[in-house]
Amino acid sequence: MKKLFFTNMMLSTIAILLVLPINFASARTFNNDFETGDLTDWEKTGTAFDFQPTWGDNPTARNRGQPSEHQGDWWLGLAEKYQGPVKGKALGQNPGDLADGVDAPQGTLTSIEFKIIGETMNFLIGGGNRAWDVNPEPCCVNLVIDGKVERTATGNNNETMTRKEWDVSDLQGEIAQLVVVDNSSGGWGHPNFDDVHQASANGKNIPWDQVPAVEARGKLAVSWAQMKKYY
């Protein structure tokens, strides 16, 4: 009797789950700082992101005189080719190694979709100063809504990242994506990027697990492999 009751309960639960809209992604934390050590939640094109994210202060490791000032262990540094003490060592990489071709590779990195609920967005950015709207070969970070660039930022021709902020109060409620762009092969043709947040009116960062993200059946749905990392 108990076995039959349990079986019926399980069947009922499965039936409900099949009927209800499922939003797996909204229940987990967005990979906003690359501390997964990979590009989970991001989709790349081209070759510029082949060795990303990078691990540790690689500019200092090669005596560049421009510390990365990254958050945590991992960050996007598109001139870098060191993927940490485990993977990097296995691949024969060393701290401070430069990427093949340094600034030559090009590509983009696009985040999953998320809802804008904050008053502002802040992030660390460095690398080249090649603006989206004035340079034919931009390297920058864009906030994109329905295919339109609503906000953009660049570095200051320096490997050191500094924190910048966008006012997004007029975009609240919109569904957006972040796109890291490297369309340049010239000098300072690479962006550095890390640690992006939405923040409330009082300047306090909003935990990403409180930000609605694309639902599992959406255009940029997370894969089952990614879901297993969180469930």
The model's pTM is 0.82
With respect to residue 25, please indicate whether it lies within any of the assigned structural domains: no
With respect to residue 188, please indicate whether it lies within any of the assigned structural domains: yes
Domain residues for the domain of 107 are 31-46+103-230
Computed over every residue of the chain, the mean pLDDT equals: 86
- Determine the pLDDT at residue 212: 87
- Determine the pLDDT at residue 218: 40
Q: What is d(CA 122, CA 141) in angstroms, rounded to the nearest whole number?
A: 12
Which range, of 27-31, 84-88, 143-147, 214-218, averages the lowest pLDDT?
Answer: 214-218
* Cβ-based neighbours of 89, under 8 Å, separated by 6 or more: none
Is it the case that residue 4 has pLDDT exceeding 60? no
| Residue 192: CATH number of its domain | 2.60.120
With respect to residue 82, please indicate whether it lies within any of the assigned structural domains: no
With respect to residue 67, please indicate whether it lies within any of the assigned structural domains: no
DSSP characters for 85-132? IIIIHHTT--TTPBPTTTT---EEEEEPPEE--SSEEEEEEEE--B-T
With respect to residue 98, please indicate whether it lies within any of the assigned structural domains: no
Q: What is d(CA 223, CA 216) in angstroms, rounded to the nearest whole number?
A: 8
Is it the case that residue 136 has pLDDT exceeding 80? yes
The SS3 call for residue 86 is helix
| Average pLDDT rounded to a whole number, residues 44-64 | 97
Compute the chain's Rg from CA coordinates.
20
As beta bridge partners, residue 143 has 151, 178
With respect to residue 124, please indicate whether it lies within any of the assigned structural domains: yes
| Average pLDDT rounded to a whole number, residues 61-72 | 97
Total domain count, the chain: 1
With respect to residue 179, please indicate whether it lies within any of the assigned structural domains: yes
Torsion of CA 10, 12, 14, 15, to 10 degrees: 160
With respect to residue 79, please indicate whether it lies within any of the assigned structural domains: no
- Determine the pLDDT at residue 36: 96
As beta bridge partners, residue 111 has 42
Joined together, the tokens standing for residue 91 give: 């691949």
- Determine the pLDDT at residue 213: 77
Q: Give 172-228 pLDDT, tens digit per residue.
A: 999 999 999 999 999 999 999 999 999 999 999 999 999 987 643 344 333 323 333
Q: What is d(CA 120, CA 72) in angstroms, rounded to the nearest whole number?
A: 22
